[in-house]
Amino acid sequence: MSEDKSTSTHFGYKTVEQEKKADLVADVFHSVAAKYDIMNDVMSFGVHRLWKRLTIETAGARPGMKVLDLAGGTGDLTAKFSQLVGDKGEVVLADINDSMLKVGRAKLRDRGIVSNVKYVQANAEALPFPDNHFDIITIAFGLRNVTDKDAALRSMRRVLKPGGKLLVLEFSKPQHEIMRKVYDTYSFKIIPKMGQLITQDADSYEYLAESIRVHPDQETLKQMMIDAGLEQVEYTNMTDGVVALHKGYKF
């Protein structure tokens, strides 16, 4: 009998009921929140900072703009956007996971970033913001954890202003066979061991590696963004497509 796609979804390589995925993902990020930044640096050898820098540059944030850093976690993008939009602008750091939000809020407040940042616990599939509200939305390494990605993309488009820009930074599919083999070995053999060593949680990092493999590839995600009503959609591969930055506009 074929799987009932209306009630099931991926959780890594496992198939689970849709309504259970959010709780399962939440458990992963509750577990890793405290060491999330350290693991990002270790797993990517610091290269995640370059990926995020390109995202910031592509966003083109200017003074006075409203920015939504969705699935913003510990606030790396929010910190930079806060500087760029200034006192007359606004940055909303939104995440479905309260543990990640708490870590992000504490980190940013320790850095003195308080005046133009708001914190909102929110589900990307049903964003609690008005229509036509944000100039820029970014979602970095978060879309693959969303249960209904199509609903999330439509929700993001809804809250963008006309002329607004959505940027999706996400792990994707390496373009060359040698890179794919190296990346698979690293993801499934090395990263869980790092997770065990640093966070005492290998299982969560096994899930994160699996979630990357079942995430839509570059062209599939591009079409999903178009189907959600975004226009001029294009993407840039980084590190041979290990990561891709997708960009689309609302007109």
Two structure tokens written together for 102: 């708490």
Strand 243-249's sheet: what is its strand order?
117-121, 90-95, 66-70, 134-140, 160-171, 243-249, 231-238
Contact 32, 199 (CB under 8 A): yes
Q: Which residues are annotated as a binding site for S-adenosyl-L-methionine?
A: 74, 95, 123-124
d(CA 202, CA 191): 8
Q: Which residues are annotated as a binding site?
A: 74, 95, 123-124
